Amino acid sequence: MLTSPAVPPGAAASATAGAALPRGRTRLALVLAGTALLLVLVVAASLLLGVRSVPASAVWDAVWPGAAGHDLTNPDQAVVAQLRVPRTVLGLLAGLALGCVGTVIQGVTRNPIADPGLLGITPGASLAVVVAVSFLGVATPLGFVWFAFAGAALAAVVVFSIGRAQPVRLALVGAALTAFVTPVIALLLLRDVQAFNQYRFWAVGALTGRGLDAASALWPFLVVGVLLTAMLAPRLTLLAMGDDVATALGQDVRTTRGLAAVAVVLLAGVSTALAGPVALVGLVVPHAARRLVGTDYRRLTPVAALLGPVVLLGADVIGRLVVPNAELEAGVVAAFLGAPVLVAVARGRHVAGV
C-alpha cells in the first residue's frame, strides 16, 4: 500500500502562517475600506443634518466654491459654511487625535481602561482653562485652546516622569493627580460665577463655539503626534509581549516609552484643546479596532485613526437630532455611548493584546 510522505511539523507551521498572512491583509484592507466609507457617510451627515433643515444642493453649493450656486449670503449656505464645516473639521481632527492617543496609551501602559482622563491629562487641561478664565480673563475659544493644550501637556509630563512609564505607577499617579486637581477646579469655580459659566460649556466636550482658527493653530502638533503613532505601531506590538521579550528582540524599551510619552502629550493636548475633555472615545476606539483586526498595532493603529473621527462626529450628529429644536454636546453623547463599553471591559476576564 502506498503512503504519502510525512510533512515536517515546521513546514506545516510555515504553510499555515503563509496562508494566514494574506487573509490578514485582506481583512485589514476590507476593514479599512469599510471604515473609510463609514467616515465619509458620517462627514456627509455632519454637513447635512442639524436643527436647521438644509437641502443637499445648498450643502454642495456652500462647500464647493466652484459651484454655480455658491453664495454665502444665502442663509442655508451660511449655516453650512460658518457652523457645520468648522465643527466637522474639528471633529475629524479631534477624533483622529483621540483614536491615536487611546491606542498609544493602552499600548504603552498595557492597561485596557487607560485613556487621557484616567492618566490625569484631561483634568490638567481643565485646570489650565479655569486658571485662564479666573485670573487672566481669557474669554475666547482660541484663548482656551492654548491653555488647554499647555495644561494637558504639563499633566502628561508630570504623570510620565513620576510614573516612569510603568503601567501600575502611571495609573496611580494619574489617579492621584486627578484627585488633587478636581477639588482645586471646584474651589476656583465656586469663587467666580463668570468663570463657571464660561467653563461649564467647554467642560462637557463640544465641537461648537470654536472656529477653524483653532484647527489652523494646532494641526502641526497633530501631524507630529500621528506620525509618532505610526512609527510606534510595531514597537507597541513587541511591548505588548512584555518588557523582557521586547528587549530580547532588540527593542530599546525606554526609547519606546519616551516616544510614546511625546505622542501622548501632543495628541491629548490637541484633542482636549479642540473639543474639550471628551470622555471615553479614546477608551472605546482601540477596543473596537481590536475586535475588527486583532492585536497587532501595525493593523490596529490605522483602523483606530479612522474610527476616532467616526465615533466623535457620529456622537455630534446624534446630539443634534436626539432633542427637538436643541442639541446635546458631543461629549455627553460620547459618554452615553462609551459607558456600556467601559462596563463590558471591566466585567471581562481578559482583554487580548493589552
Query: For the residues of 82-137, what is the DSSP string, one character each?
Result: IIIHHHHHHHHHHHHHHHHHHHHHHHHHT-TT--TTTTTHHHHHHHHHHHHHHHS-
Residue 17: pLDDT band (50, 70, 90) is: very low
Contact 91, 309 (CB under 8 A): yes
Q: What's residue 56's pLDDT?
A: 86
pLDDT of residue 247: 84
Local confidence band at 165 (pLDDT 50, 70, 90 cut-offs): low
What pLDDT, on a 0 to 100 scale, did the predictor assign at position 48? Answer: 92
Tens of pLDDT, residues 197-254: 777 777 778 888 777 888 888 899 999 999 999 999 999 999 888 878 888 888 888 8
Closest C-alpha among 206, 12, 11, 213 to residue 91: 206
Residue 78 scores a pLDDT above 80: yes
- Alpha-carbon distance of 277 to 205, in angstroms, equals 5
Tell me 325's DSSP state. T
Residues 6+ apart with CB under 8 A from 75: none
Q: What percent of the chain has pLDDT over 70?
A: 90
- Give the pLDDT confidence score for residue 2 in this predicted structure: 47
Q: Is 50 exceeded by the pLDDT of residue 123?
A: yes
Q: What is the pLDDT of residue 190?
A: 85
Lowest mean pLDDT segment, chosen from 20-24, 99-103, 153-157, 221-225: 20-24
pLDDT of residue 346: 64
- Predicted pLDDT at 21: 55
CA 18 – CA 25 distance, rounded (Å) = 11
Q: What's the pLDDT band for 11 if we cut at 50, 70, 90?
A: very low
- Band (pLDDT 50/70/90 cuts) for residue 121 is confident
pLDDT at 18: 47
Alpha carbons 36 and 303: distance in angstroms, whole number: 9
Q: Which pLDDT value is given to residue 96?
A: 96
Instruction: Give exposure, 246-282, as e/b (b: 16+ Cβ within 10 Å).
Output: beeeebebeebbebbbbbbbbbbbbbbbbbbbbbbbb
Residue 28 has pLDDT above 80, yes or no: yes
pTM: 0.86
**pLDDT per residue over 255-312, tens digit each?**
888 899 889 888 988 888 888 888 789 888 998 999 899 889 999 999 999 999 999 9
Instruction: Indicate the pLDDT class of residue 16, thresholds 50, 70 and 90.
Output: very low
Single-letter amino acid code for the residue at 67: A
Q: How far is CA 13 from the centre of its chain?
A: 38
* Mean pLDDT, rounded, of the chain: 83
| Per-residue pLDDT at 72 | 80
The class of domain 86-347 in CATH terms is mainly alpha
Give how far the C-alpha of residue 55 lies from the chain's centroid of Cα atoms, to the nearest Å.
31
Distance of alpha carbon 173 from alpha carbon 163, whole angstroms: 6
Asked if residues 226 and 101 have their Cβ atoms less than 8 Å apart, the reply is: no
State the greatest distance between any 2 C-alpha atoms of the chain, in Å, as a whole number. Answer: 94
- Specify the 3-state DSSP secondary structure of 296: coil
Show the cell assigned to 99: 483614536
Instruction: Enumerate helices (H) and strands (E) in the chain, giving the number of each.
Output: 14, 0
What pLDDT was estimated at residue 348?
61
Buried b (16+ CB within 10 A) or exposed e, 19-42: eeeeeeeeebeebbeebeeebeeb
Distances (CA, A) of 206 to 70, 193, 329: 29, 21, 5
pLDDT at 98 over 90: yes
Nearest-CA neighbor of 49 among 327, 289, 317, 297? 317
pLDDT tens digit sequence for 37-57 = 999 999 999 999 988 888 888
